[in-house]
Chains A and B, each alone.
Chain A
Amino acid sequence: MGYLRNRIITYAIIWFIALNFDFILPRIAPGNAAEILANGGRLPALQVQQLEQRFGLLQPVTVQYLLFLKGVFLNFPPDFGFSYQYFPASVSQLFFQRLPDTAFLIVIGLALAMTLSYLAASISSLRRGGKFEMGTLYTSVALQGTPVYWFSMVLLWIFAVSLKLLPISGQVDASLEGFNYMLSFLEHSILPMSVMTIATFGQWYLLLRGSSQQILQSDYILAAKSRGLSEETIARRYVLRNSLLPVISLASLFLGNMISIAVLVETVFGYSGVGDLFVDGVINRDYPVLEGSFFYVTTIVIIGAVIGEIVLQRLDPRIK
């Protein structure tokens, strides 16, 4: 238990460092103050005043820092002020509006990828070194070198432009209702979802395979073989189940990776999720949105990491 507690404390410290980093970074970027005032030039005077008040833009940095901390800790959900671009929508509002869509992509994509790669690993283990295993293996390695955004563009081209099977961009046709709305949502999410699944499958399969390689060299596998169990039985009963262990705990660590993929996928497909929000914020120099998104993403990732540690602790009695 002591080990776990230390890890959690480490993560908490890192979270706090990331929070400060989140505050400092936009403020040391070159051209920052000019940017804010220039943005203010586009907005009516009243809104500029509101922005200045909320962020303390004309006040010394220490005051800004206090305002920042106040916004983060004294409110739930944390208040990051208003977005410059989508004024007067608040950053948290924007983020949570879009979070379910991205979460949909990530969670289902991950689930599909894990299931598929587990199936693939099972089939491969029946014939070690056979064509299926080698084929899947090299496909996965090849997928590592494939840029996700390019792959998305190619799929977009094939299915949306040439074959006109699926919609080109966006997330849903807001004019439809009820069942049609749902259908439209699904239609729009097929392509992004497929890309996420395929991209994740490759990496996941390699992890699973690495894990089962290590298991294969264990003593108890040797013992099982010497007892006369067939390769199949060994695979089924011992290898697959035990190789799952380290990999499951990695699932939550994979979250960061999937968010990166989601950013690219959402950009190409015009899918309005959190990644798209982030990229928009980058393009438009929308600092509140950037700060807020970075904070939320960091928090989610760290919570995921902590959960992963707890799960690993529970499942593997060896780490106590």
Chain B
Amino acid sequence: MIPRTRTQRLLSRSRSSLALLFRKKAPKAGLAILVGIMLFLIIGSFVNPYSPYKDSKLLNSPPSPTHIFGTDFLGRDIYSQIVNGAYPSLLVAVIAALGSVVLGVLAGVFSGYYSRLRGLVGGTGDLIMVFPLLPLLLLIGSLFVATNLFIATLLIFVLWPLVARAIRPQALAISKMPFVQAAKTSGVKDREIVMTIVIPQVLSIAIAYFILNVSLALVLTTALEFLGVGNPDLVSWGSILYWAEQFGFLAGAWWWIVFPGTFITLTGMGFALIGFSLEEVFNPRLRV
């Protein structure tokens, strides 16, 4: 059946893209990892008997039946810390990714469609991408009171150029297409063209970059938490490693370092694999 209506056309295109996606091994692995971790976290929050902030007498004990991942230097259960610490870190990462994609799509679409904006937006974006992110984030994050929202905002500011850079060529290509030119000459307002035509077309890439950005933002957030930005006393994936770096080596507590980091890595990997495969599928230039 030849797709006639716009919805049918969109569906048939995404169906074939999705089919391609599910044939690859990588996104399946990534999805499996993420689902596994999600389950672990959700079930874990019901199952675990300890509060992550509760000291106990069992200082620096290796993994055991009572403390699956061992305890830290204050006797706090590491398993609970991982389960509870997921929320701050992941929340910031997801919000940052969402914001950066929204901003990046807007920037990319407008600089692709309006040629006058291209130099300014492109230049600013390129400069932000060139800059060493961590020192900048570290500097700002440590000078001001860094709440999680503040960190998320910083990350949005730093991550949007990546998205805009990928979206701009697509927006440009679309705006040069005959039917868009036709719409313009027949009097359709620019804003309407952008809203109804350009943005839906770039949506698929935007989703891919959203997932990739969650991975990036997660790594950046935990890195900042690791360096002590924000509140190191608040249990988050990065702050666990903050304390582990200072006291773990001395105490010989390898479990303190290995387990939290493994979770960060696996989650980051899961998102990265899925996002990367999505990008390959939706960006026709990257296909092997």
Contacts and interface: CB of A to CB of B under 8 A. Distances in A.
Interface of A: 7, 10-11, 14, 25-26, 29-30, 128-129, 138, 141-142, 144-150, 153-154, 156-157, 161, 168, 210, 213-214, 217, 253, 255-261, 263-264, 267-268, 275, 278-279, 282-283, 290, 293-294, 297-298, 301-302, 304-305
A148 B269 contact: no
B156 interface: no
Nearest to B133: A260
Contact of A30 (B131, B133, B145, B266): B145
26 contacts: A25-B143, A29-B143, A138-B273, A141-B273, A141-B276, A145-B265, A145-B266, A146-B219, A147-B268, A148-B223, A149-B245, A153-B244, A153-B245, A154-B257, A154-B261, A213-B285, A256-B130, A259-B134, A260-B133, A261-B134, A263-B135, A264-B223, A267-B227, A283-B228, A290-B139, A304-B130
A11 B244 CA distance: 41
Contacts of A161: 249, 252
A286 B269 CA distance: 36
B241 A149 contact: yes
Tell me the interface secondary structure of chain A in the complex.
Answer: helix
B131 A301 contact: yes
Contacts of A141: 26, 269, 272-273, 276
B145 A297 contact: no
B132 interface: yes
B258 interface: yes
B80 interface: no
B133 A256 contact: yes
B261 A10 contact: no
A315 to B, nearest CB: 18
B61 interface: no
B130 A145 contact: no
B36 interface: no
A282 B142 contact: yes
Contacts of B287: 213
Contacts of B244: 153
B223 A149 contact: yes
Interface of B: 26, 123, 127, 129-135, 138-140, 142-145, 215-216, 218-219, 222-223, 226-228, 241, 244-245, 249, 252, 254, 257-258, 261, 264-273, 276, 285-288
B153 to A, nearest CB: 16
Contacts of B123: 7, 10, 14
Of listed A149, A161, A214, A268, residue having the most chain B CB within 10 A: A149
Contacts of A26: 143
Contact of B132 (A146, A149, A256): A256
B227 A146 contact: no
A150 B261 contact: yes
Contacts of B129: 253, 256
B113 to A, nearest CB: 22
A214 B130 CA distance: 23
A142 B269 contact: yes
Contact of A259 (B132, B142, B266, B268): B132
A129 B25 CA distance: 13
A153 B249 CA distance: 9
A145 B258 contact: no
A244 B133 CA distance: 25
B271 A145 contact: yes
Contacts of A11: 127
Given A253-B129, A278-B135, A150 B265 contact: yes
B135 A145 contact: no
Contacts of A210: 286
Given A154-B261, A210-B286, A259-B132, A282 B273 contact: no
Contacts of B288: 128-129, 213
Contacts of A301: 130-132
A278 B267 contact: no
B249 A260 contact: no
B261 A142 contact: no
A298 B128 CA distance: 11
Given A146-B265, A263-B138, A290-B139, 13 more contacts: A25-B139, A25-B143, A30-B144, A128-B288, A138-B26, A141-B273, A144-B215, A153-B257, A157-B254, A214-B285, A256-B132, A297-B132, A301-B131
A217 B284 CA distance: 11
A263 B276 contact: no
Nearest to A300: B132
5 A-B pairs closest in CB distance: A145-B268, A260-B134, A150-B261, A29-B143, A259-B132
A108 B195 CA distance: 48
Nearest to B143: A29
A29 B270 CA distance: 37
Contacts of A257: 132-133
Nearest to B262: A150
B138 A279 contact: yes
Nearest to A32: B143
Contacts of B252: 161
Contacts of B227: 264, 267, 279, 282
A259 B131 CA distance: 9
Given A210-B286, A256-B133, A283-B228, A29 B144 contact: yes
